[in-house]
Amino acid sequence: MGNIIEFENVSFRYESDEEGVTLPLAVNKVTFGIEQGSFVAVLGHNGSGKSTLAKLTNAINIPESGRVIVDGMDTADEKLTDEIRKTVGMVFQNPDNQIVATIVEDDVAFGPENLGVPPEEIRRRVDDALKAVNMYEYRTSEPHKLSGGQKQRVAIAGVIAMQTRCIVLDEPTAMLDPNGRKDVMATIRKLNREMGITVVLVTHFMDEAVLADRVVVIDSGCILLDGTPREVFSQTDKLIEAGLDVPQATQLAQKLAGMGFDIPTNLLNEHECIKAVCKLLRSK
């Protein structure tokens, strides 16, 4: 289907507060594309460059060198910034920093209002977006009374209402409790699978990355691994090198294989692990 976002040898560096000090590159010569309609997880430990990378996708950060192309538009061209942000929407980690209005439905309407969408269409978009994230019944609630997960779903509805074709979410579940995380993850999958929106999910949770079609692991601003979850999570040594946890199921399978048992080493979850261990026991 072609790539909706294209990184071509992209580097980015923050400016230091101290005069004469040059900070290292936060993103270092990154080349990759995000295929239209795909669900890509970007995984990396704290400080690896995930947020910097996310903000390069919709012209919040502009590359020091290289180019980021969004649906044919170069993010370095200021005239295109509005159009780029209509194509790629962003959801951030802290739900409290993203909600601007005092009523849920006003908050969701904020984006399309700024785009100059006619009122009757805004009404329809807001209702549809709130239904999509399962928050319609809270449309007249005050956001500060909602849980973190509910607020995050309202923030996602705000992006849906802008009808961006791609949504980049930067650790959207990091501040949520397990239930909030589950609801937000279900919403994110629905965006991709049912609504056809391209999803880039930045996360440091393995169990979230496993749900994507593709996992890109970054370390010190560089791409370390890029492949399907199964391909990426079988590279235990490299993941540990990048300061990431390996799924427990994968670790157990690899230890058993190391002891000479005939078990696949690319298992992703408990379910697959249980199946493989049962097969092993039966074969004895």
With CB under 6 A as the contact rule, the residue among 7, 28, 41, 48 that binds ligand ADP is 48
With CB under 6 A as the contact rule, the residue among 22, 46, 97, 283 that binds ligand ADP is 46
Which is closer to ligand ADP, CB of 51 or CB of 152? 51
Minimum CB separation from Mg ion for residue 152, in Å? 15
Is the Cβ–Cβ distance between 236 and 211 less than 8 Å? no
Task: Provide the strand spans (E) within the chain.
Answer: 3-12, 27-35, 39-43, 65-70, 73-74, 88-91, 166-170, 198-203, 214-219, 222-227
Which is closer to ligand ADP, CB of 52 or CB of 187? 52
With CB under 6 A as the contact rule, the residue among 5, 26, 211, 249 that binds ligand ADP is 26
Question: Is 164 one of the binding residues for Mg ion (CB under 5 A)?
Answer: no
Q: Which stretch binds ligand ADP (CB under 6 A): 46-54, 134-142, 222-230, 242-250?
A: 46-54
Is the Cβ–Cβ distance between 1 and 36 less than 8 Å? yes
Minimum CB separation from ligand ADP for residue 51, in Å? 3
Collect all residues with Cβ–Cβ distance below 8 Å to 161 and sequence separation of at least 6. Answer: 108, 109, 111, 112, 122, 125, 126, 128, 129
With CB under 6 A as the contact rule, the residue among 9, 14, 82, 196 that binds ligand ADP is 14
Q: Which stretch binds ligand ADP (CB under 6 A): 49-57, 112-120, 235-243, 251-259?
A: 49-57
Question: Is 158 one of the binding residues for ligand ADP (CB under 6 A)?
Answer: no
Count of CB atoms situated within 10 Å of the CB of 77 = 12
Question: Is 87 one of the binding residues for Mg ion (CB under 5 A)?
Answer: no
Question: Is 51 one of the binding residues for Mg ion (CB under 5 A)?
Answer: yes
Cα angle 85, 136, 122 (rounded to 5 degrees) comes to: 45
Q: Which residues pair with 91 in a beta bridge?
A: 169
Q: Which stretch binds Mg ion (CB under 5 A): 2-10, 19-27, 45-53, 258-266?
A: 45-53
Question: Is 44 one of the binding residues for ligand ADP (CB under 6 A)?
Answer: yes
Is the Cβ–Cβ distance between 6 and 36 less than 8 Å? no
Structure-token pair, residue 77: 């061209």
Which is closer to ligand ADP, CB of 26 or CB of 117? 26
Task: Provide the strand spans (E) within 13-165.
Answer: 27-35, 39-43, 65-70, 73-74, 88-91
Count of CB atoms situated within 10 Å of the CB of 241 = 12
| Backbone angles phi and psi of 78, in degrees to 5 | -60, -30
By CB under 5 A, name the binding residues for Mg ion. 50-51
By CB under 6 A, name the binding residues for ligand ADP. 14, 23, 26, 44, 46-52
